[in-house]
Structure 1
Amino acid sequence: MAGKEVLYEIREGIAYITLNRPEKLNAIDPEMRQLLWDAFQEVKNNPEVRCALVTGNGRAFSTGHDLVAMANARADTQVNQAPSTGDLYVVQSTIWKPIIAAINGICLAQGCGIALGSDIRVASSEAQFGWPQAKRGISSVSGPALLSQVVPRNIAFEFLFTGDFVDAQKALELMLVNYVVPPEEVLPKAEELARKITANAPLSIAAIKEAAIKGSEMGLEDRVAFAQKKRNEVLQSEDAKEGVAAFAEKRAPVWKGR
């Protein structure tokens, strides 16, 4: 699958998803939302994909919703039929494969939502982050739904109420991102992490992610029980036997995903 506004390719088990409207700072219009949805579904359902990497083309990761397109097309059937903003975040949360955001530049509003919906975030030292919706007379989905789950609520409210931007270093201090690197190192660092992940057992990775995400909605007793259930399922797999054998034989394991 591919489209001009979202590029998609698979290399060595890594799905590369590139937002590709550089002339619009990768502002997200209905076509891009649909293509992102399609890309995430492909990542979710393709057994050849072990990890996904999301980035932007040009000087922005994404500036969020294309407000011009929104104003000009409120009654357009394409707008009504395309997956919603919230749909994208929900589908990201149901993919039991790691998603890495390589944040190459400006990251605002829905762009921040896609980044926060990813599991690991690598940011350019030139990146900026913000939720300016209140300055435009609109509200936010990713801010209340995602940001407030990542940082303390008072920090989230400051972002959302003021619409102010923060630089990459401040984002690192707030733990919005895992790494801040020079611009030319963003993609290489993300790829380095992706390769480390794809070297590990895919069933183990999937079980860990599912247990963490679903478990976050449970009490401690149920959370522990669910994590144990997922662990026991993995222990019955061929890959678990292969991992133990490879360790004993001092060789690299060959994972089959079953």
Structure 2
Amino acid sequence: MSVVEYSVKDRIASIVLNRPDKLNAINAQMRDELFRAFHDFEGNPDAWLAVITGAGDAFSVGHDLQEMGVPAGDSSGASIEDLYVLQSRIWKPVLAAINGYCLAQGGGIALASDIRIASESARFGWPQARRGISSISGPAMLASRIPLNHALEFLFTGDLIDAQAAYRLNLVNKVVPHDRLMAVVDEYAQKILQNAPLAIRGIKEAAVKGQALPLAQRVALGSEVFRRVQDTADAREGLQAFREKRPPVFKGQ
């Protein structure tokens, strides 16, 4: 039985973590299915953006601790590191609809997304130290998203914070009523889908790669991406539509 629901419709890839009875704890099967879903999304020309969320009352509470200490058997499956790296190289936009607990590895998957919308019932934390283990996404990702002292506070104490506190720390873009979460995420998606997908991907690529570069190299990268996107059918369509005072029809070409 699948533990990740994946589908593509109307240019949106839907990825749903589907172990609600386990609060979407991430086991080996879920890692493999998530990896395959993101891999398909990356190469699927019909999918222009992705929305990831969790079934039931949680986004994900992180690694399924029942797996820890159990011999892995066939170790050829995707690791959580593989998943984070794959997410980091996908230039299509990924929106996270955070519907409940978002902890540890679940927080890592959310942080690897581009826009994070949280239900008012969402809770965030990296409580691994309480179980005697370290964290990958906390030091690697959380510590670069918010002030280091706050990141270390969460990692040292294991305390959880609510959605409003996460918003104040810029962990999420918006907090919405729980029953409005998916509608608001769809509003964001539709706004993005109005724009040229190749331009969006170029913008994300330049912004993400540029984080590690000095200013001169960031400008050079931005210029290279600009020239690449400018030489597309969508760029020509956008300018033609502007001149003709009509909405553009982008095709991802």
Same fold (TM over 0.5): yes
Kindly provide the amino acid, as one letter, of the partner of residue 238 in structure 1: A
The CA deviation at 1:250 is 1.3
The CA deviation at 1:74 is 2.7
CA RMSD of aligned residues (A): 0.9
Q: Which runs of 5+ in 2 are unaligned?
A: none
Q: Aligned with 2:89: secondary structure? A: coil
Aligned to 1:221: 216
Whether 1:10 aligns to 2:8 is yes
Q: What is the alpha-carbon distance in structure 2 between the residues aligned to residue 45 and residue 107 of structure 1?
A: 27
The CA deviation at 1:230 is 0.2
Which of 226, 230, 233 is the matching residue for 2:225?
230
Aligned to 2:202: 207
Kindly provide the amino acid, as one letter, of the partner of residue 63 in structure 1: V
Kindly provide the amino acid, as one letter, of the partner of residue 28 in structure 1: I
Q: What is the alpha-carbon distance in structure 1 between the residues aligned to residue 71 and residue 200 of structure 2?
A: 41
Q: What is the alpha-carbon distance in structure 2 between the residues aligned to residue 122 and residue 75 of structure 1?
A: 34
Q: What is the alpha-carbon distance in structure 1 between the residues aligned to residue 15 and residue 72 of structure 2?
A: 29
Aligned to 2:68: 70
Q: Aligned with 1:221: secondary structure? A: helix
Q: What is the alpha-carbon distance in structure 1 between the residues aligned to residue 81 and residue 149 of structure 2?
A: 23
Contact 1:109/1:140 (<8 A) preserved: yes
Q: What is the alpha-carbon distance in structure 1 between the residues aligned to residue 248 and residue 154 of structure 2?
A: 45
Aligned to 1:180: 175
Could you give the per-residue CA deviations for residues 1-56 of structure 1, whole angstroms, max 9, x where no partner exists?
xx620001111100000000000000000000000000110110001110000000
Q: What is the alpha-carbon distance in structure 1 between the residues aligned to residue 13 and residue 29 of structure 2?
A: 20
1:59-138 equivalence runs, <5 A: 59-71=57-69, 73-77=70-74, 80-138=75-133
Instruction: Count how many residue pairs are aligned between Structure 1 and Structure 2.
Output: 253
TM-score (structure 2 length as normaliser): 0.98
Could you give the per-residue CA deviations for residues 48-79 of structure 1, whole angstroms, max 9, x where no partner exists?
110000000000000000001223x33322xx
Q: What is the alpha-carbon distance in structure 2 between the residues aligned to residue 8 and residue 213 of structure 1?
A: 26
1:14-93 equivalence runs, <5 A: 14-71=12-69, 73-77=70-74, 80-93=75-88
Which of 240, 243, 248 is the matching residue for 1:245?
240
TM-score (structure 1 length as normaliser): 0.96
